[in-house]
Amino acid sequence: MRLSFDADHLRSLLEFSRAGTQRVPTFEQVLDPALWSDDLPDARIALLEAEIAEHGIALSARSEDLDPSLIGPGLILVGDEGVYLMANVPIETVVSAGVPHVAYAAEVNPRMLPFDTWWEAKRTSFGPDDGTIFLPDEMIAGPLSRIPSGGAFQLEVSPEQIGVLEPREPGPEI
């Protein structure tokens, strides 16, 4: 399903992420051994690795296990009450600057659409479960930079995959 987001709002959120000194990880990032801190105690590493061997994931992994410098800037796609993008920095950082901390997809905005409309669009696009997906800066910065002020950034979202849609070049005037 094609989802449209206010490009100007996303540019602001991405700037907060780029400038952020503290980034908030997604659940998948917490579980990623490549992001774990090099200075974790040996006993902690052994526990996490044993959980991966037994369960396929480190069940007790937590954000404190991460090396924050390994979490890059980007936006988090969230599916819960609607579908929206937010900066991967503490919410207070964005709100204190007077910027709304979420940018809803126009097609899945519970503040603007009747319940049945946004609920069905959320299930069609993101799936029935709630969750988060990290979209790194390098995935969205290029297409976002080519969208004029007032334009829409578009994602193609399904429960199985996400794609960034390149902005269309303006056609010839007729």
- Would you write out the chain's pLDDT as a tens digit for each of its 174 residues? 999 999 999 999 999 999 998 999 999 999 999 999 999 999 999 999 999 999 999 999 999 999 999 999 999 999 999 999 999 999 999 999 999 999 999 999 999 999 999 999 999 999 999 999 999 999 999 999 999 999 999 999 999 999 999 887 654 444
In a domain? residue 115: yes
In a domain? residue 173: no
Task: Say if residue 39 is in the same domain as residue 89.
Answer: no
For 7, the domain range is: 2-21+73-165
Task: Say if residue 39 is in the same domain as residue 125.
Answer: no
* Total domain count, the chain: 2
Burial of 128 (0-12, 13-18, 19+ CB in 10 A): exposed
In a domain? residue 172: no
In a domain? residue 170: no
Task: Say if residue 48 is in the same domain as residue 99.
Answer: no
The answer to whether 87 and 20 are in contact (CB under 8 A) is: yes
Burial 52-69 (b: 16+ CB within 10 A, else e): eeeeeebeebeeebbeee
Task: Say if residue 12 is in the same domain as residue 94.
Answer: yes
Its pTM stands at: 0.90
